[in-house]
Amino acid sequence: DVKVTQSSRYLVKRTGEKVFLECVQDMDHENMFWYRQDPGLGLRLIYFSYDVKMKEKGDIPEGYSVSREKKERFSLILESASTNQTSMYLCASSLYGQGAGGGYTFGSGTRLTVV
C-alpha cells in the first residue's frame, strides 16, 4: 500500500511564525498535492506538483509556498502564519497520467492551530 506520511498530527504556532509542513510518500508517485480542509468549505487545493522542482498554484495559494527537492517529499510553507490559516492540512499523492483516474492517496492530516 502507498503510504503518505505527514510529519505532525497536531501543531500549534504563533502568529507571524514561519511554518513547515512535511509530507513524504513511498511509492514513487509523481504528483503531490496540498489541501486544506475547513468545515463547510470542503477540500481546497493550495499547491500541487507534477515532478521534482515543479509546482503549480491551486485555488488558494496566497500566504503559502511549497518546495519539492526530492520526488518523495513535498513541503508546504506558511511564510508568516496567521490565525485564518488555522485548519486541517492534507497531503496527497498520485501517479502521473492516472491522477484523476487512479485516485489520490491521502496522508492522515496535520491539524494546525495558529494563535
Partner 1 sequence: QKEVEQDPGPLSVPEGAIVSLNCTYSNSAFQYFMWYRQYSRKGPELLMYTYSSGNKEDGRFTAQVDKSSKYISLFIRDSQPSDSATYLCAMGSDFGNEKLTFGTGTRLTIIP
Rg of the chain on CA atoms, in Å: 13
Q: Tell me: does residue 7 bind partner 1 (CB under 8 A).
A: no
Q: Where are the beta strands (DSSP E) in the chain?
A: 4-6, 10-13, 19-25, 31-38, 42-49, 56-57, 64-70, 73-78, 87-94, 105-106, 110-114
Q: Tell me: does residue 106 bind partner 1 (CB under 8 A).
A: yes
CB of 32 to partner 1, least distance (A): 10
Which of 53, 103, 113, 115 touches partner 1 by CB under 8 A?
103
Query: Footprint of partner 1 on residues 34-73 (CB under 8 A)?
Result: 40-43, 45, 48, 50, 58
Stretch that binds partner 1, among 12-20, 61-69, 70-78, 106-114 (CB under 8 A): 106-114
Residue at grid coordinates 499547491: 47
Stretch that binds partner 1, among 11-19, 61-69, 78-86, 90-98 (CB under 8 A): 90-98
What the block records as the C-alpha cell of 101 is 483516474
